[in-house]
Structure 1
């Protein structure tokens, strides 16, 4: 709907807790468990920091007891390889760091004039090297830089071993391509562990699951996470005038009679729901929560200013077929709203990535003549039309859309 799955915070009238609907089959819930929500990307995401956080989490939860140590070992091996691969460039960078270039300036107090004398070079002192080492920490991450320095330092009874290590690391960080190589390997190992321990991570308590979701989200692109089953949802059963609101059966959450209130739906959203419930093979439906939460199917999109946001399509439908349970996204949303086109583009990007996991992904809008028009977002031709569109209403009125019924 116009609110993208609900109004967020609202005043509830005669609230009733909806519990898990006992009439919903296990196969429907299994299909729900496979839904792919997305995280909201971060503007600044450090792959090495993400790997370190994952290692710490896996160690704490006993999933991979030595994960943090293993992560450091992997990163050290990569840095060792980069040192060897760029040996000539590294030697040159070390030489540049150890030589501080300067110029003598001669000033005349009487004449108020200054002139530059001859240039000179000196061996860099500890402060100059530490400044370069600190800069390396911004490239590699302060934690990796510090730990790797301790790893390669040659014990010799004084600080020279650590000083030499700091010089080498500072030099390595100045070489073009090193950060990209390290980030790539850190991302690869993070993804490997997230895949390898996916089932174990799903088994940790909810508060710990949130930690892993946050680690997954430490990326500049939307990332797939697991959805959690809803446990309870509070809905109003009366309107502001004390009238009972209409209800529908078949929702994943329900009251004791197997019904779910639909008082928050407008007339045409209700029409969409009723139409979908009449489709062959219909089994169940889910009113997606309007704000991103553990039990919502959230989809990342960019708003008109290029900032990442999350949308929550209104409806998820479950139906049976010879191939098992089919899942569909149907999102009624006003074409006149300022976020209509950006959300359609987000839905199109989502369909490109995950369309094969859904039976249908559709956006519906009520036009000024009260007709409902639908965009089949699983269609590559429709997605192209969405990405080229400049006006949502014109898009729904074009050949890219069809009548909903």
Structure 2
């Protein structure tokens, strides 16, 4: 909580708007990648924000085509998996559940083959996503197959690694295709909408290179012991920005401004859309590093952003 907040706003007079928005930041979580779910959710968001109202059908049709082709390619493995699922002996499994609010124990029985098939079907739903397996179910049901047979087919295709790999690769290519095709439209959405899309991809472990979002307004600490010139966010009254910096950080900013930097940006470390994040690999997986500053300079009459690489620490 700032005791004496000072409102600052973006200073277009510095002339670095285009250079700032040219900066790309990669967003990816450490979650396991799920390209099938990512493709389906991205297509849904393209419909939600009226970028492509046919995106969901397009993705589903492409994935269904790939799924059917993969089953044909791995036909032997698929039929073997079908037989393996079907061979469960049809004995009864008894489930017992004690209800502490009652004296007796509730019991029910279920055919072992039905239980095994339903369990394998649920596993396939997690692999291919329910939207896709339901579409496959409708396709097979239209051929006159009974539900048990169709569920066995779905269970079988989920257990064949080659089928899963082919469909996953197709989903990956669809994510890249839609992301590249509609990049400009996505970047033109509101900040909340862009965050919604980035969050869905992030949740599925899919990276996305996004333009750094230009902050329009913010509040800085009026109790900071120094006000700085040429910060991209500053007070409209004196064009200065009150920012608390460590002594070494203060020296860095002063030195860069004295040696030709025409503007600078204190990169926030909270990972929001105004933060430049650089992903790097560690023994614990991918992590994000946020450089402290972004500076801007004029190179051959073109304004360019730059970082001080010797300041970047990977911890």
How far off is 1:333 after superposition? 5.7
Greater RCO, 1 or 2 (C-alpha within 8 Å, sep 6+): 2
How far off is 1:307 after superposition? 5.2
Unaligned runs of 5+ in 1: 1-10, 104-122, 240-244, 335-339, 344-405
Across the aligned residues of Structure 1 and Structure 2, the Cα RMSD in angstroms comes to: 2.5
Does structure 2 conserve the Cα–Cα contact (< 8 Å) formed by 1:250 and 1:285? yes
- Establish whether residue 154 from structure 1 lines up as the match of residue 142 from structure 2: yes
CA distance in 2, matches of 1:294, 1:221: 16
Does structure 2 conserve the Cα–Cα contact (< 8 Å) formed by 1:55 and 1:67? yes
Q: Which residue of 1 aligns with 2:100?
A: none
**Number of aligned positions between the proteins:** 295
Cα deviation per residue 1:311-337 (whole Å; 9 max; x = unaligned)? 321110111111622211137869xxx
CA distance in 2, matches of 1:230, 1:147: 43
Unaligned runs of 5+ in 2: 92-110
CA distance in 2, matches of 1:276, 1:45: 40
Does structure 1 conserve the Cα–Cα contact (< 8 Å) formed by 2:198 and 2:208? no
How far off is 1:266 after superposition? 1.8
Q: Which residue of 2 aligns with 1:177?
A: 162
**Other structure's SS at 1:43 match:** coil
CA distance in 2, matches of 1:163, 1:101: 15
- Establish whether residue 310 from structure 1 lines up as the match of residue 288 from structure 2: yes
Larger Rg: 1
Q: Which residue of 2 aligns with 1:14?
A: 4
- Establish whether residue 36 from structure 1 lines up as the match of residue 24 from structure 2: yes
How far off is 1:124 after superposition? 7.7
Cα deviation per residue 1:228-259 (whole Å; 9 max; x = unaligned)? 110112112225xxxxx322211111112211
Change (3 A) 1:221 1:145: closer
Alignment of 1:343-362 (within 5 A): 343=315
Q: Which residue of 2 aligns with 1:63?
A: 51
**Other structure's SS at 2:13 match:** coil
Of 282-291 and 138-147, deviating more is 138-147
- Establish whether residue 284 from structure 1 lines up as the match of residue 269 from structure 2: no
Does structure 1 conserve the Cα–Cα contact (< 8 Å) formed by 2:43 and 2:59? yes
Normalising by the residue count of structure 2, what TM-score does the alignment of the two structures yield?
0.85
- Establish whether residue 261 from structure 1 lines up as the match of residue 239 from structure 2: no
Does structure 2 conserve the Cα–Cα contact (< 8 Å) formed by 1:315 and 1:331? no
Q: Which residue of 2 aligns with 1:380?
A: none
How far off is 1:38 after superposition? 2.5
Does structure 2 conserve the Cα–Cα contact (< 8 Å) formed by 1:76 and 1:148? yes
Normalising by the residue count of structure 1, what TM-score does the alignment of the two structures yield?
0.67
How far off is 1:95 after superposition? 2.0
Q: Which residue of 2 aligns with 1:107?
A: none
Alignment of 1:202-217 (within 5 A): 202-217=187-202
Q: Which residue of 1 aligns with 2:303?
A: 325
How far off is 1:223 after superposition? 3.7
Cα deviation per residue 1:189-230 (whole Å; 9 max; x = unaligned)? 011101100111112222211111112324546542222110
CA distance in 1, matches of 2:234, 2:207: 32
Change (3 A) 1:60 1:331: same
CA distance in 2, matches of 1:30, 1:180: 41
Q: Which residue of 1 aligns with 2:81?
A: 93
